[in-house]
Structure 1
Amino acid sequence: MKTVLILYYSRHGGVSSMAQQLARGVESITATQALLRTVPEISEVCEAVADSIPASGAPYVTLEDLKQCDALALGSPGRFGNMAAPLKYFLEKTSSLWLSGTLTGKPAGVFTSTSSLHGGQESTLLSMMLPLLHHGMLITGLPYSESDLISTQSGGTPYGPTHVSGSDSNRPLTDEEKRLCFALGKRLAQLAHKL
């Protein structure tokens, strides 16, 4: 059994919805399971008093989850063309995995959601790739054989699936966005088995 860790931070639910679609794609491949995990909010107050288990949604990720996974999908809303601080904060605490080379050679992909079509989606995806490259992970995106990349009027890039959530941050995923998320999940699962 191969495990694809889907690690994400979601503020308004868009990235969480994408993670669910990626999980469907992962589990469409026999003998593969999706492991959904998130990261806690951060601030000086939150870190001091936050519960160790979230009230709802996916459990918080641990370094052990990263050690045990066969592939990784990393998702975040865009923040001024960058990943959100809670996800970056967690990744900055993975130095022990970097030193031991634990993630080296494992496939990884990224996904994001922004309020607007030009909300820095591609730069957010690239910002998430940087620490994964430092870990020696093998980055995969979406090939143009995924026809939704050509026809989408909303989210979707060859760097990874994207979602346009709207100015009120509650627009549901389009059919194209769902299919592109599914495709990345399936691709990561297939790569986990091949590698």
Structure 2
Amino acid sequence: MTGELVPGANAALTAENPDLTAVVVGIAWEQIPSRGPSAELVPLAIVCGTDGRVLSDDDLVFFNQIDDASAAVRYVDESDQEEIDVDLRSVPEAVDKIVFAVYLDPDPRSPKDLGSIRSMAIRVCAPDGRELVRFALPSERNHTIDAVILGELYRHRAEWKFRAVGQGYTTGLTGLRADHGIGRAR
């Protein structure tokens, strides 16, 4: 099962790969060269319960917090520009989905949108490097957004699936925080 997904499409990962116990989620982008400040992108994994909200602020995974609370989701800087490894066997039962997003660093000197990003993609691979699915984000809206949810790894009954999302935000990290309950005590 190798496939290019479109926004909203789903792929059955473990049903089609019964021996799959872990995945590597790679996020890559190509930026238009600039003489001025360039966009500084921050990939983020948000580990959510059934209500779509983060279980705790310890369940965010990014460059400054490389593991979630269970250590099943881990940020790694590898062959893709950014990589997040997920040990499917170790993900707690309370986790319904893991959201993969990218936001623009809110540094006042940075560009205000993703307009300098020529292309962006997320791919899900088996630990041996075999690509299972890929989603290339359509770039026509990059001049209006400063954050985007690329995809979701989610449970469906006893199986794991991946959904291509492509939902852009004009409110950056603030929008992601509000939609997923980041920074709020449960």
Q: TM-score, normalised by structure 1?
A: 0.25
Instruction: Decide which structure has greater helix share.
Output: 1
